[in-house]
Chains A and B, each alone.
Chain A
Amino acid sequence: MSSPVVRVSGLHKSFGDLEVLKGIDMEINSGEVVVVFGRSGSGKSTFLRCINFLEEPDQGGIEVAGISVDAGLPTRHRRKEIRRLRTHCGMVFQQFNLFPQMTVLDNVMEGPLRVKGESAAEVRDRAMQLLADVGMADKADQHPIRLSGGQQQRVAIARALAMRPDVMLFDEPTSALDPELIHEVLAVMKRLAETHSTTMVVVTHEMGFAREVANRLCFFHEGVILEQGTPEQMFNSPQRPETRKFLDAVI
């Protein structure tokens, strides 16, 4: 763990009259796994989506891998910086969002090939390697519709990794899955954290995963980080009553 890969400062975000984020500051170091949890409506998903500007923050700044973008009007230059920042973030969605018209392999190759303009042969090798890592190499030529939810999500992880991101953002990656498929996705994520020391921010309700894999847990409550700490601290001696109440309810 060295210098911060992600730096979030003073992040504010409202939807209409509803203030969802009320000033979030966070630094995430290289190789760190941060699990963000909290009740629905606590702002945890919005926070994650602000990191790669899928949501436009109202106030504050984001820095990923040295590229820093502040909240502000979308000028041409700023849009370019946001796109550059996004190429350093891998995003995994709740609903997978694979491209249905492409094969599994083309899904994984699309980003490096079209956005980064890397050579096809090299990208293909890397994509096949990544698909093998997530156990999907034998489905490379299939279309996503033929895969189970768990398989689609593993392909989505490979697609995000293909960009060689500095940080992986997981937005409730197992919430749309049937219970028996959750573990195969969590297993892939755990391997990423442990053997590849991938920097990860994970919004999830899977507290077992959090206990086992996370370096840090952040409890979001009504638009602020109410409490954070190591899994031991958070599970064994949570300081705030809200945290205790939430953990009692989910475990």
Chain B
Amino acid sequence: MPDSSTREAVPHQRHGLAESLERASLAVPFRLKVAAVWAVIFALLAVAFFRSGFDIAWMIDKTPAIVRGVWVTILFSVIAITAATFLALLGALGRISKNPIAYGISGFYTSFFRGTPLIVQLFLWYLALPQLAIGLLPEPYAAWFIWPAQVAGVVGIAFNYGAYMTEIFRSGIEAVPHGQTEAADALGMSYGQRMRRVILPQAMRIVIPPTGNEFIAMIKDTALIGLLGTTILWADPFRVAQLTGKADFRNLEALIVAALVYWGLTAIFSFFQRKLETRMSKGYVRTAVKAG
């Protein structure tokens, strides 16, 4: 090979090993190398686990109980995202309102619920609200505000995420060009008609992708509800893992299973989220092409 013979003549030849490694590396696809890195990470973790006396039989035995908790997670998330969407819609309409009462209430709402830790808010709903209710309300009514952990937890998550989503919805509504408002007004539409028929449908396509992100984040944060002390009937994977792991002093095994459950769940929803996002980004063009 004439190419290599000329190469041998240059003094850089002593870097030959590094260079040939680099050349070999270039031939391997990037994705394959990344996969290799992941494999190494998992291998190291597995080695570390087993050297620490990882009890795989125990883990396999308890996995079904932990995984079953996924239905609690999904139920919490679906109820909370529905309520949060409703709160965010009201909040966003308040944030763009010229009415000082609506603007003031929504401003307080987003400031407080975005400005304090979620875990504190959960305990406020669970422990502080009953105290307030007992102090203020006569006997039968006070009991309405003493909630089981799962109710306080879902309400707390919904209010917290509703506050973040308020800002998403507000920016979505404000992204609709002002000419649309004028066109609706010029037709004599009322505020409600303008919002329902013109503004919100256009804001929706802007808002749906980031709302999907909030939903995925919410799935993980429902694990906090377990810290309020939910009963085994309402225990999510983290709560089950905590209870069973503590009982047998197998915390590592139990918590790893719980973590994998959440990881899998968010991976599934992220996949659909990405599909939705590509669909939405094609937007009007897609429907228009179909029509044409």
Contact = CB atoms under 8 A, between A and B. Distances in A.
Interface string B179-221: 1101101111110010001100110000000000000000000
B1 interface: no
B65 to A, nearest CB: 48
Given A83-B188, A86-B185, A163-B188, A145 B193 contact: no
B98 to A, nearest CB: 9
Given A110-B197, A111-B188, A115-B188, A99 B183 contact: yes
Contacts of A99: 180, 183, 197-198
B288 A97 contact: no
A133 interface: no
B188 A142 contact: no
Contact of A91 (B186, B197, B201, B202): B186
Contacts of A89: 186
A90 B183 CA distance: 10
Contact of A114 (B177, B193, B285): B193
Contacts of B284: 100-101, 143, 145
A143 B287 contact: yes
B179 A97 contact: yes
A22 interface: no
A145 B188 contact: no
Contacts of B2: none
Contact of A115 (B187, B288, B292): B187
Interface string B248-292: 000000000000000000000000000000000000110110011
A37 to B, nearest CB: 22
A93 B198 CA distance: 16
Given A99-B180, A100-B284, A146 B186 contact: no
Contacts of B202: 100-101
Contact of B292 (A110, A142, A159): A142
A86 B188 contact: yes
Chain B interface size, under 10 / 10 to 19 / 20 to 34 / 35 or more: 20 to 34
A56 to B, nearest CB: 12
**B187, B190, B284: most-surrounded residue (chain A CB, <10 A):** B187
Contacts of B288: 142-143, 145-146
A101 B283 CA distance: 10
B179 A87 contact: no
Contacts of B285: 145
Interface in B88-137: none
A98 interface: yes
A52 B186 contact: yes
Contacts of A111: 187-189
Nearest to B289: A146
A143 B186 contact: no
A92 to B, nearest CB: 9
Nearest to A115: B188
Nearest to A83: B188
A143 B287 CA distance: 8
A142 B290 CA distance: 9
Q: What 3 A-B pairs have minimum CB-CB distances, sorted nearest first? A: A91-B186, A97-B183, A87-B188
Interface of B: 177, 179-180, 182-183, 185-190, 193, 197-198, 201-202, 284-285, 287-288, 291-292
19 contacts: A52-B186, A83-B189, A86-B185, A86-B187, A87-B187, A93-B183, A100-B202, A101-B201, A101-B202, A110-B197, A111-B187, A114-B193, A115-B187, A115-B193, A142-B292, A143-B288, A146-B291, A163-B187, A163-B188
